[in-house]
Chains A and B, each alone.
Chain A
Amino acid sequence: MRILLIVFAPVIGGLIVGFERIIRARMQRRIGPPLFQPFYDFLKLADKRKMMVHSSHAFLGLMHFISLWFALAVLLLGGDLILVIFLHLLSTSLLILAGFSTRSVFSHLGANRTAISVLAYEPVLIVIAVSIFMLTGSFTAASVFSYPAPLLFKMPLAFIALLLILPIKMKKSPFDVADAHQEITGGVELEFSGIFYEAVFTAKWLDYIFCYTLVYLFAGSNVTLGIALIGFVFFFTNALDNSTARVNYKQMLRFSLAVSFSLAFVNLIINILL
């Protein structure tokens, strides 16, 4: 089951993106694209003439996708959460480096903003992982998957903290500063094209699976609750995306460190004291 999920992660991620576009459109009283639209885009991109700025840049984009897939695999196979967080961080770092490697101002801006996003969400994730350790006595995701009681009821504040940083990771408004299309035209993505863009484009689908797996962790071994949580987060992030305007990166950083981080921290203290 998990192996299947790992192998087909990009496909499932693509379906989620397709579904998301429909839901978002319906929220705006539009019909929206067909469910398979992301795959049609994928096929169209594959057919384009191959172009690149230089090889290092293209290669880093490609490896961003592969290393993200690897981080996801470690998470789904029940690996160590701290290791997973770092692996995810580093796969993002490959994208950041790709952004810095070109001489394009939008690429640089995007890379800077991505790096700051990492600063905004990484401490929160680590604190959540430590809270999980306090509860289960282990840092591995496997111990969470087999934990009898859902974590949600034991660490609700951590869940809220996660909910508040997910828009940063999924690049959703109000925290989509890293690829803000209207401002910096996609940031890091801008200089990729053709099949190299494909890698960066599909990596986002993988990121969705990664985020929803983090959400699923809060259900422990309760599958029904897990699915319900994913459904809730799905609607929540899309509703939020539709109803808010983008903030700037300073506001994002301040909010994330002041609100999300404090929530996660209070949760950690409660977990330690109880």
Chain B
Amino acid sequence: MQLSLNSLFIVPVIVSGLLLILPSGIARILITITSLLLAALSLYLFCNIQDTYFFSVAPYLNEVVTAFDILLLLFFGWLALQRKNWLVGLLTIAQLGTVLYLIMVLPVQDTEQFMVDKLSAFMFLLINIISGVIAIYSLRYIEEEDCSPFRRKYFLSILFWFIAVMNLLVSTDNLEYFFLFFELTTLASFLFISFRKDEVAIANAFTALWMNQLGGLAILVAICFITANGYGAITFTNLLAHASAAGILLPLALLCIAALVKGAQMPFSKWLLGAMVAPTPVSALLHSSTMVKIAPFMILRLSPALKDTPVAMVVIALTGFVFVAAGIEALAQDNFKRILAHSTIALLALMIMMSAIGSPLTMVAALTLIMFHGISKSMLFLNAGILERVFHFKLASDMDRLGETGPFTSLVLTIGFMSLLIPPFGVFMGKWLSIETLGAFASSTKLFGACIIVAVACGGAILSLLYFKVLGLLIARSGVRDKIRFEKTGVVYSGTIWFLMGLTIASTLSLPLLLINCFVPVTNEILGTSLAVVITGWNLQIGAITLPLLPLLIAFFLLPGTIVAAMFIRFNNVDRVKEYTCGEKIDYSFSSFYFSTDQVTRYFSAVGVLFFVALIIVAVF
């Protein structure tokens, strides 16, 4: 166990170093092998972990962590000076001050700094498998990038280093360590976003930097309060042990702020949208499986303490708002990656909301969403990269007749969007579980719960409208070319996409198994409950909810099956005619429809700020 854990942390770091010096041929083999190894290790860990597993590291590493903290902050300070970005500078000084203060007041840490439980193992699984696929995909993508050979190596190198940081982050118990890894992911996003080095990229990278620094600062201040309130060790476990202590709300609220910033909730959604300028594997990496998932992960960790507190209520209200608002913003978008980014923000809001409610069933819903969203979104983003590289599309409205020019890409995109929308794909199941569990939530919270249900219902409808719009573009064809011939995109592209598509479909079909072996055990461990899954005939019973499996199975063949079949099916004995269109003979050019939503969207950031202020106010009083 310890060995495989250590390899999850150390192997990516070593590989990251090696990638900088090795020639590209060997690097390619190395990356493939490492990705497979990491996936295998995380699978092994997930299957074998039983109880929460604590372990400590050599004491001198505490000093190393502190040293790294300071080095990192100095680097941020240097960046701020170089660009004369006072916001980053100010935040860096504030962070540096707090760190120095903490060094003086913090007692010697002799507790175990790391904790691996089923939730961590679940995150390992997601991080390593998805990032591995993305790494392999990047091999080809970065080859085609217009940059020097060294920068190509450097890109792959940060990618692996980022995987290591993520693995460390989800297994940390000590908050000081957590802060370091949190800031390292911030650094990673900065380096990734500024990779293309043009003016927009650098500006967006700095936006991402200061926003995420705010999150880091929130963690530091939370540590200060924990120490000042005398709760003892600054670990998650200890924090949860003091769940009902006086003054606990403020550190909890601060940690929530850190999570919400990382999860790009409004008004901090700008950094995620700005991250779209980075190379596409980065978008996939930041959006789908890994970095933004820190947000629901943190809330899940804290949920036993958060549950039913005013802080949780504000978080739920904020995410309810964001779920609707991000959907509305998305309706006005045309850039394909931006559509995906907005829908990521909306779905993240749903995940955070479910985690913050903290009842066993909502946690299951959150975990279901985290996993399936990760798979679907990475597939969609990698495909967006292929669209850019192979078909030279960036706008959704350019995709008209993609079904004929690129049937395979169009098929994959269709499956990807359907998996975010249509029963019985996982994301749909997550949404469905959410609405069903919100019913119980509303019985206890009355008016507030009712408003949240309404937000989820409206947001869901808006997202459906958005996905239909894109699906409609994908399915459009003129009927001129009837033969379907899958385009060739190269073995790396098509291999990774096939793998993710297989994973989407396989995981959907094995949802009952995943519920029994994955989502429900993880929930039980976090909450210490004994939620059971029972299969009776064609019904799957989780707690109070019954999932009818037979209609879902039929729905699987009927709805997604139909849309896929519609691309391939040919009626041979039917006469073909041109469109009638009431005899109009004008040649139309078709694109997509948009909604002008500026009247409302301009207020969204302000509302978001209000929620964050409310979060602090309820925590203090």
Query: Is B one of A's binding partners?
Result: yes
From A87, A96, A104, B579 is in contact (CB under 8 Å) with: A104
Q: Would you call A70 and B558 a contact (CB within 8 A)?
A: yes
B403: chain A residues at CB < 8 Å are 56
Give the size category of B's interface with A. 35 or more
A94-126: which residues lie under 8 A (CB-CB) from chain B? Answer: 94, 96-97, 99-108, 111-112, 115-116, 118-119, 122-123, 126
B576-603: which residues lie under 8 A (CB-CB) from chain A? Answer: 576-582, 584, 588, 590, 593
Given contacts A60-B566, A86-B423, A273-B446, contact A51 B574 (CB under 8 A): yes
| Docked pose: A104 CA to B585 CA in angstroms | 10
From A55, A86, A185, B582 is in contact (CB under 8 Å) with: A185
| Docked pose: A52 CA to B571 CA in angstroms | 9
Q: Would you call A103 and B478 a contact (CB within 8 A)?
A: yes
Given contacts A127-B454, A134-B443, contact A102 B579 (CB under 8 A): yes
Q: Would you call B565 and A93 a contact (CB within 8 A)?
A: no
B442: chain A residues at CB < 8 Å are 130, 134, 272
Q: Would you call A272 and B447 a contact (CB within 8 A)?
A: yes
Q: Which of A75-83, A153-161, A211-219 has 4 or more CB atoms under 8 Å from chain B?
A: A75-83
| Docked pose: A56 CA to B571 CA in angstroms | 9
Question: Does residue B3 face the partner (Cβ distance < 8 Å to A)?
Answer: no
| Docked pose: A82 CA to B554 CA in angstroms | 16
Q: Would you call B577 and A130 a contact (CB within 8 A)?
A: no
A167-195: which residues lie under 8 A (CB-CB) from chain B? Answer: 185, 190-191, 193
| Docked pose: A82 CA to B439 CA in angstroms | 11
Chain B nearest CB, measured from A156 CB (Å): 17
A134: chain B residues at CB < 8 Å are 439, 442-443
A74: chain B residues at CB < 8 Å are 551
Chain A 256-271 interface 0/1 with B at a Cβ cutoff of 8 Å (1 = within):
0000000001001100
From A108, A119, A123, B590 is in contact (CB under 8 Å) with: A108
| Highest count of chain A CB atoms <10 Å: which of B403, B422, B476 | B476
| Docked pose: A177 CA to B475 CA in angstroms | 24
A46-74: which residues lie under 8 A (CB-CB) from chain B? Answer: 49-60, 63, 66-67, 70, 74
Question: Does residue B555 face the partner (Cβ distance < 8 Å to A)?
Answer: yes
A108: chain B residues at CB < 8 Å are 590
Nearest CB in chain A to that of B573: its residue: A50
Q: Would you call B565 and A59 a contact (CB within 8 A)?
A: yes
B548: chain A residues at CB < 8 Å are 79-80, 83
| Docked pose: A272 CA to B443 CA in angstroms | 6
A119: chain B residues at CB < 8 Å are 461-462, 464-465
Q: Would you call A130 and B435 a contact (CB within 8 A)?
A: yes
B479: chain A residues at CB < 8 Å are 53-55, 57
| Docked pose: A80 CA to B567 CA in angstroms | 31
Question: Does residue B76 face the partner (Cβ distance < 8 Å to A)?
Answer: no
| Highest count of chain A CB atoms <10 Å: which of B478, B580, B590 | B580
Question: Does residue A11 face the partner (Cβ distance < 8 Å to B)?
Answer: no
Question: Does residue B472 face the partner (Cβ distance < 8 Å to A)?
Answer: yes
Chain A nearest CB, measured from B589 CB (Å): 10
From A107, A118, A140, A185, B465 is in contact (CB under 8 Å) with: A118
From A57, A58, A123, B457 is in contact (CB under 8 Å) with: A123
Q: Would you call A101 and B477 a contact (CB within 8 A)?
A: yes
A127: chain B residues at CB < 8 Å are 453-454, 457
From B447, B453, B575, B579, A50 is in contact (CB under 8 Å) with: B575
Chain A nearest CB, measured from B505 CB (Å): 18
Q: Would you call A115 and B468 a contact (CB within 8 A)?
A: yes
Q: Would you call B562 and A59 a contact (CB within 8 A)?
A: yes
From A70, A89, A112, A265, B464 is in contact (CB under 8 Å) with: A89
Question: Does residue B104 face the partner (Cβ distance < 8 Å to A)?
Answer: no
B432: chain A residues at CB < 8 Å are 82-83, 86
Nearest CB in chain B to that of A74: its residue: B551
Question: Does residue A90 face the partner (Cβ distance < 8 Å to B)?
Answer: yes
| Docked pose: A19 CA to B591 CA in angstroms | 41
B471: chain A residues at CB < 8 Å are 93, 97, 100
| Docked pose: A149 CA to B574 CA in angstroms | 53
Nearest CB in chain B to that of A105: its residue: B588
Question: Does residue B160 face the partner (Cβ distance < 8 Å to A)?
Answer: no
Chain A 24-65 interface 0/1 with B at a Cβ cutoff of 8 Å (1 = within):
000000000000000000000000011111111111100100
Q: Would you call B475 and A101 a contact (CB within 8 A)?
A: yes
Q: Would you call A87 and B574 a contact (CB within 8 A)?
A: no
Question: Does residue A210 face the partner (Cβ distance < 8 Å to B)?
Answer: no
A91: chain B residues at CB < 8 Å are 559
Question: Does residue B569 face the partner (Cβ distance < 8 Å to A)?
Answer: yes
| Docked pose: A123 CA to B457 CA in angstroms | 5
Q: Would you call A70 and B457 a contact (CB within 8 A)?
A: no
Question: Does residue B482 face the partner (Cβ distance < 8 Å to A)?
Answer: yes
Question: Does residue A133 face the partner (Cβ distance < 8 Å to B)?
Answer: yes
Q: Would you call B447 and A53 a contact (CB within 8 A)?
A: no
B576: chain A residues at CB < 8 Å are 51-54
A82: chain B residues at CB < 8 Å are 432, 435-436
Nearest CB in chain A to that of B552: its residue: A83
| Docked pose: A191 CA to B583 CA in angstroms | 12
Nearest CB in chain B to that of A96: its residue: B468
| Docked pose: A89 CA to B552 CA in angstroms | 15
Q: Would you call A63 and B477 a contact (CB within 8 A)?
A: no
Question: Does residue B469 face the partner (Cβ distance < 8 Å to A)?
Answer: yes
Given contacts A115-B465, A122-B461, contact A49 B575 (CB under 8 A): yes
Rank and list the top 8 A-B pairs by shortest CB-CB distance, nearest first.
A100-B472, A54-B479, A126-B457, A104-B579, A63-B562, A133-B439, A56-B566, A104-B581
Q: List 11 A-B contacts (CB under 8 A).
A: A51-B577, A55-B566, A60-B566, A79-B548, A83-B548, A96-B468, A101-B472, A103-B579, A108-B590, A268-B450, A273-B446
- Give me 10 other A-B pairs in contact (C-beta within 8 A), A54-B482, A80-B548, A83-B432 excluded: A56-B475, A57-B479, A79-B548, A82-B435, A97-B468, A99-B472, A106-B581, A123-B454, A191-B579, A272-B449
